Amino acid sequence: MGTDAAREASSASWIGGSALRGPLLRLLLEHDRPIGAYRLSSLLMQRLPGWQLTHSSIANLLKRLVEEGYVTCQSGPTQVYLASERAALAIEEWMRTPLSRHAVRDELHARIASSRPQHAPLLFKALQDYEQECFDSLQDGGRTDAPSGSWRGLTISLTGSAVEENLNANIRWSRIARRWIRDWVENSRDQAVSSGQGDHDSAVI
């Protein structure tokens, strides 16, 4: 297995079929004190508003993370959770691995929700790659013609149109996201220079 393939496999293995692992660990790392599952679920739903999340699915994910050693659980009147020492390293390694091809968009959204300012260049590059992948898929699929003739032709046209519209929307979103990240980095650099702190710690895009 090549280096890139091995890294992708490692990322996919760590995700374990759920891109929620990254944002969930990031939330835990942002809290110095243990936090309950219900509160974590509510915060995660706020951070990923477009996802269909349930408290029970997040509780099950927490249980798996405890079993794998990324989260510790403290018993009491209610169970509370805290990120382990392995969590921060796992997040950093995940942010640097190639996106899993089977769920690029979901994992990209999850990484954005899990990111810190220093991850701006990594996200910018991932968004560029994602936009190119969407563009290539759009070119390969060809243009969807208006339906005519049989019902089968109509359904094929509708399906093709849905894919085409979705790819175009993803390309537009990727461009907006990159512009916002670039603007944020430039504004942060300008603020650092004006305050006399220099720009040696600023992300470079």
Comparing CA positions, the residue from 22, 51, 25 lying closest to residue 40 is: 25
What are 141-156's pLDDT values in tens digits? 666 566 567 887 787 7
Beta bridge partners of 81: 35, 73
24 in Cβ contact with 62 (< 8 Å):
yes
Is residue 104 in some structural domain?
Answer: no
Is residue 67 in some structural domain?
Answer: yes
What are 61-100's pLDDT values in tens digits? 999 999 999 999 998 888 999 999 999 999 998 888 887 6
Lateral strand order in the sheet of 35-36? 35-36, 80-83, 71-74
State the pLDDT at residue 11: 45
Beta bridge partners of 82: 72
pLDDT category at 159 given cuts 50, 70, 90 is confident
Whole-structure pTM value: 0.70
Range of the domain at 184: 116-194
State the pLDDT at residue 9: 40
Among 96, 130, 165, the domain boundary falls at 96
State the pLDDT at residue 10: 46
- DSSP 8-state code for residue 200: T
What are 30-55's pLDDT values in tens digits? 998 999 999 999 999 888 877 778 88
State the pLDDT at residue 199: 52
Instruction: Give yes or no for residue 202 having a pLDDT over 70.
Output: no
Among 62, 96, 130, the domain boundary falls at 96
State the pLDDT at residue 152: 72
> Domain check: are 18 and 76 in the same one?
yes
- Please give the tally of structural domains in the chain: 2
